Amino acid sequence: MLNVAIVGPGLVGGALLEQLAAHAQSPRFASLPISVVGLINSKKMAISTKSFTAQDLDQWKTAILGSSAVVADLSQFTDSLAVLKGSTAVVDCTSSDTIAELYPLWLSKGLHVVTPNKKGFSNDISLFRKIQQLSASPKGPVVYHEATVGAGLPILSTLNDLVRTGDKIVKIEGIFSGTLSYLFNNFSIPGATQKFSECVSVAKSSGYTEPDPRDDLNGMDVARKVTILGRVAGLDLSIDTLPVENIVPEELRGVSSAEEFMSRLPEFDEHFKKLNDEALASGSVLRYVGMVDGVNSQSSVKLARYARDHPFASLKGSDNIIAFTTERFPNPLIIQGAGAGAAVTAFGIFADLIKVCERFGTGSA
């Protein structure tokens, strides 16, 4: 049996609990040996020596983290998990730097780590290397973080397979942000009439952007994903030195609120129109891309032009698309699909938990 404890059961963690509950109640998958034994958020925690029921998981806010829960204490939570019988995996569903810095401690206590949190794999490279070192033993604890890049898309697993089988990574290029995918798929296409500020406004009201769209437009989320891919490919990329094009107009980077940013963004519609008109006139479209250069050390994150017949140009909605160019795949291996959202991110985490089960002989569905 694999014990599972979830840190930060919010939107993504809640979706994971829903999937685990549905799975447990399905006759087809009832034998899957995953037992949810702990939940902790910023205020409360609950730990059990036996599995919470599917009904508990369905109503976790009241049934598990309700009146019977105790005050959150992450140290106590960790110590309690470390003495449970069998294998235990901690699922970090936060985006916290502080929680990511606990991964080495968890691993040193024999706890597996499964997470969509990008911080542990894109912050200081010394933390990344420590995590790698502590999870390198075939018999020791493992780390799976498929959902850090592309949510549930099989991006990191594909890259790991390419690297482990000795393929040479030439280039990894992709549209890694659902927000920026949506924006430019709607703004930079032949015949489009919406102004850039209007596209951003629609994306924000539709829930595609962060509360402050500058957190998407500055490119740092894409930069973290490129850094993770580069490191998994064996490159010493750093988010601090990676060239990242911030497409937030310089005059708006320091405004005090998202509301002020949105109210002033129309002032710069002409700037974005000029970029788009030039691209369209050359038979191209604009796409915001991240690129890992495995040959010339020219990795980058930027707004770039692509010919209209390029796979990136025909992308729809808010999908991600990633192209792996390698020695074995000179014609790129392409993965495309939904790369954001609670349900698909939870799917990526769930699939990683099943891998932990399979790897450590605790059964599979």
Report the run of H or E that residue 262 belongs to, with start and end: helix 258-264
* 225 noted as active-site residue: yes
Helices (runs of H) and strands (runs of E) counted in the chain: 16, 12
Whole-number Å distance between alpha carbons of 315 and 312: 6
* Annotated binding-site residue? 316: no
Please check whether residue 159 is in contact with residue 229, taking contact to mean a CB–CB distance below 8 angstroms.
Answer: yes
* Annotated binding-site residue? 361: no
Sign of the Cα pseudo-torsion (206, 210, 211, 214, in order): negative
* Annotated binding-site residue? 326: no
Q: Which of 225, 273, 302, 355 is catalytic?
A: 225
* Annotated binding-site residue? 9: yes
Tokens of 185: 């798929």
* Annotated binding-site residue? 8: yes
* Annotated binding-site residue? 44: no
Q: Is 172 helix (H, G, I), strand (E, B) or coil?
A: strand
* Annotated binding-site residue? 255: no
Whole-number Å distance between alpha carbons of 289 and 305: 10
Report the run of H or E that residue 88 belongs to, with start and end: strand 87-92
Q: Strand 320-326 and strand 333-337: pairing?
A: antiparallel
Beta-carbon contacts of residue 81 (< 8 Å; ≥ 6 apart)? 3, 5, 37, 38, 47, 88, 90, 109, 111
* Annotated binding-site residue? 12: yes
Tokens of 224: 């973290």
Q: Which region holds residue 274: left if phi is over 0, alpha if psi is between -120 and 50, else beta?
A: alpha
* Annotated binding-site residue? 10: yes
Please check whether residue 265 is in contact with residue 200, taking contact to mean a CB–CB distance below 8 angstroms.
Answer: yes
Binding-site residue positions = 8-13, 94, 118, 210
Binding-site residue positions for NADP(+) = 8-13
Binding-site residue positions for NADPH = 94, 118
What residues are labeled active site? 225
Binding-site residue positions for L-homoserine = 210
